[in-house]
């Protein structure tokens, strides 16, 4: 998605935004360690109306870990007969083209998708990303913020940790959040993405490098050097996903191309920082 397409989306009223709510199930928690997607589900949603669904099992080419199977309970024989990711990727990309992606703990699911795309030599996604977990932590008062707990508090069916079941619960959480956010004057997609960073309409942008704010707004990659300890700073290319500046030190959640996965970067440890020319 190019910057002009993103800017057009940012100005849309929320009732006109083409949301795609999605969830992936995986063989484990670490895509950079070889874990793979084994199920994908998504729902097209605009103006309070569902416009279509897509779901598929995916043959991951490796067993599901015992811990992951204890959660999603997807039997091996179903995955063995499912198509591999390379056979579903084109259909998947058509489904999400030009859309705003929504997930619960969105950087996690987004990182799995991008890692699969990198394996196939395809460009990574840079769609605007709405994270209902981050929004819930800011705007809802709950004992727990996982999807199951939020669904229970809203009186909807508890998700089963299968992809479409989770998306159904996700939709209920998103609807509730949008209704609440309207009371704060959140009217456009840009307002929503700023609210995800704890900013209300009229609040100034926090102190942050201009290139970082541009990358977040336009879905662009950054070149950084990052200090992780006593050694020399490590050069990396990253795709910023969320900038969190409440509840602690300012930090950036990003997809790291060096590690092929989601990472957290604290701003005070970043040395060089520059936009990557696309």
Q: Which of 107, 112, 101 is nearest to 68 (CA)?
A: 112
Catalytic residue among 51, 77, 161, 176: 161
Helices marked H in the chain: 3-10, 66-72, 76-80, 85-96, 106-119, 132-139, 147-154, 163-182, 189-195, 210-218
- Buried/exposed 3-17: b ≥16 CB within 10 Å, e otherwise: eeebeebbebebeeb
| Known catalytic membership, residue 161 | yes
Residue 111 to residue 117: CA distance in whole angstroms: 10
User: Could you tell me which of 219, 212, 191, 211 has the C-alpha nearest to residue 203?
Assistant: 191
Which residue numbers are catalytic? 161
């Amino acid at each position: 998605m190019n910057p002009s397409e993103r800017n057009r989306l940012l100005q849309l009223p929320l009732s006109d935004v083409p949301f795609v709510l999605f969830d992936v199930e995986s063989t484990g928690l670490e895509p950079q360690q070889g874990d793979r997607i084994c199920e994908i589900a998504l729902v097209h949603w605009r103006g309070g109306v569902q416009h279509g669904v897509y779901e598929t099992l995916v043959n991951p080419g490796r067993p599901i870990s015992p811990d992951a199977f204890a959660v999603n309970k997807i039997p091996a024989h179903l995955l063995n007969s499912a198509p591999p990711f390379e056979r579903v990727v084109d259909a998947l990309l058509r489904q999400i083209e030009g859309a705003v992606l929504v997930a619960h703990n969105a950087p996690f699911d987004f990182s799995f998708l991008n890692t699969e795309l990198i394996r196939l030599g395809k460009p990574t996604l840079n769609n605007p990303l709405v994270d209902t977990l981050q929004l819930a932590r800011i705007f809802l008062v709950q004992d727990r913020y996982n999807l199951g707990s939020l669904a229970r508090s809203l009186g909807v069916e508890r998700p089963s940790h299968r992809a479409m079941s989770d998306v159904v619960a996700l939709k209920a959480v998103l609807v509730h959040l949008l209704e609440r956010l309207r009371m704060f004057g959140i009217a456009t997609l840009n307002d929503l993405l700023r609210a995800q960073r704890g900013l209300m309409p009229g609040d100034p942008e926090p102190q942050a490098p201009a290139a970082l704010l541009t990358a977040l707004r336009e879905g662009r990659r950054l070149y950084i050097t990052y200090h992780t300890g006593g050694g020399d700073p490590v050069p990396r290319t990253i795709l910023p996903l969320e900038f969190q500046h409440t509840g602690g030190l300012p930090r950036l959640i990003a997809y790291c191309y060096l590690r092929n996965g989601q990472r957290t970067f604290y701003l005070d440890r970043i040395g060089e920082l520059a936009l990557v020319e696309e």
